[in-house]
Structure 1
Amino acid sequence: MQARQLAFGSRARALSSLPVPSGHRQLRGIKPAMVFTGIVQGTAEVMDVDTKEKFSQVKIKLPPGKTDNVKLGASVAINGTCLTVTEIQKDTLSFDIMMETLRATNLGELGAGSVVNFERAAKMGDEIGGHNVSGHVHTTATITNIEQTPNNRRVTMTLADEQWMKYILPKGYIAVDGCSLTIGEVVDRSFTVYLIPETLRVTVFGIKSVGDSVNIEVETQTQAIVDTVERVVAQYMSRLTPAVAQPAAPAAPPAPAPAAPASAPSS
């Protein structure tokens, strides 16, 4: 099994606009929603973390050329978390991180010298070699086992919040630290992924070890399907429950036997 990271080719889909059918008018001012692809573009180094009350400012240095055409306000996924560029100094980008993001992701663990995955937002016409990733992390997981094989690395992770396990299915998609991967086995609160050598070379998984924390974003279509099925089944069962649980009306007690007529006294 191979990870979906860098899975270009026949599976790649283009984010190109469909032609407008004849007789239809192109709507103006409507732009496609920004997404990431889950194809991590490389690793970057944290240069500085300025921690303040309920707030952090982080400076991250990207590889040469990776900040070309970046503008203030642009979105960049750092370990799968969508952040907004607030300052640009050559190859170094600054981001403001709010308290909730620090709490809900592994970005609160960053310090100077930390290495992170990065991906710039997809543009129209870009290939999606992985799957649509929003950059909104749902929970974190801890790496609990790493097994090295001749051709790949098998990594087992355990979720911090088990409520998200219902969206993690064998052969499904998942974004781990922003990297689009295929799920292997699923057991209780844990799941496995298989990483090819190229994924280990390009992403932080090459240096991750047991005990490290990773960000998890479940696949949105899977989440929508599971939630819809749960809601429909709950509505159906709620209609059945009164009929099944309604106790039968008790049988009416038998009517009392008529009293015998009194006999006349003898003379």
Structure 2
Amino acid sequence: MFTGIVQGTAEVVAIHEAQAFRTHVLALPAPLREGLELGASVAHNGVCLTVTAIDGERVSFDLMRETLRLTNLGALAVGDRVNIERAARFGDEIGGHAMSGHVMAMAELVELDEAPNNRRLWFELPPALGRFVFDKGYIGVDGISLTIGEVRPAGADQGPRFCVDLIPETLARTILVDRVPGDRVNIEIDPQTQAIVETVERVLDARTR
């Protein structure tokens, strides 16, 4: 389990390609390597990956075909940075919200509003995910637990959209500071919201039969 509180960023220093398969090698800073062992779970831009090799600061992770298809990790190149969160441990403070590290889809950054000491980002979702987003609800964006500021329903020529407001600390700690319109981010819908919505839909569907 993860909490959506990104602990820092790490640089991709090598990529080993295979058929429908990749290995990413990251240079993890010392604080993020503390106690790290083979088999440990580490979230990269919100994607739960398993440590497959450790060589000093260089830590390797394997990416399967489905991960490459569903997430923005397949578009990374050497020199790019990713948000990093180590798996939560029993007793840790949960400052964000419970996240599984299972990205559902990507969303496109379509609008960026700058203001003193904060930034508002608007993202467009795939239509199927629109029913899971609500004003003031939780959402995971590139592994960051964020509160949805506002939701715009899908229109004739666009999908559903939502915005988040970022404080300077979030911008300083994560790669969202570098995101520009056209970039695609990983999205994890709040699991509790998803469960409630799907349960209500099943109940209503059963009653109308």
TM-score grouping bracket, smaller chain normalisation: over 0.9
Matches within 5 A, 1:1-267: 35-159=1-125, 161-187=126-152, 188=154, 189-238=160-209
Specify the SS of the correspondent of 1:127. coil
Which residue of 2 is the match for residue 249 of structure 1? none
Specify the SS of the correspondent of 1:210. coil
**Aligned mates of 1:91, 1:126 — CA distance in 2:** 25
CA contact (8 A) 1:144 1:158 kept: yes
TM-aligned CA deviation for residue 150 of structure 1? 1.2
TM-aligned CA deviation for residue 57 of structure 1? 0.6
CA contact (8 A) 1:86 1:96 kept: yes
TM-aligned CA deviation for residue 134 of structure 1? 0.2
**Aligned mates of 1:234, 1:148 — CA distance in 2:** 43
One-letter amino acid of the structure 2 residue matched with residue 62 of structure 1? L
One-letter amino acid of the structure 1 residue matched with residue 26 of structure 2? I
Which residue of 1 is the match for residue 157 of structure 2? none
Aligned length: 203
TM-score between the two structures when normalised by the length of structure 2:
0.95
TM-aligned CA deviation for residue 139 of structure 1? 0.5
- Deviating beyond 4 angstroms after TM superposition, the runs of 4 or more aligned structure 1 residues are none
The percent of aligned pairs where both chains have the same amino acid is: 52
Alpha-carbon RMSD across the aligned residues, in angstroms, is: 0.8
TM-aligned CA deviation for residue 40 of structure 1? 0.3
TM-score between the two structures when normalised by the length of structure 1:
0.75
CA contact (8 A) 1:66 1:91 kept: no
Which residue of 2 is the match for residue 28 of structure 1? none
One-letter amino acid of the structure 1 residue matched with residue 147 of structure 2? T
TM-aligned CA deviation for residue 93 of structure 1? 1.0
Per-residue CA distance 1:188-243 (angstroms, 9 max, x = gap): 211100000000000001111111110000000000000011111111111xxxxx
One-letter amino acid of the structure 1 residue matched with residue 73 of structure 2? L
TM-aligned CA deviation for residue 165 of structure 1? 1.0
TM-aligned CA deviation for residue 51 of structure 1? 1.3
Specify the SS of the correspondent of 2:176. helix
Per-residue CA distance 1:21-71 (angstroms, 9 max, x = gap): xxxxxxxxxxxxxx1010000111000111110100110112223101100
Larger gyration radius, structure 1 or structure 2: 1
Specify the SS of the correspondent of 1:226. helix
Any stretches of 5+ residues in structure 1 without a counterpart?
1-34, 239-267
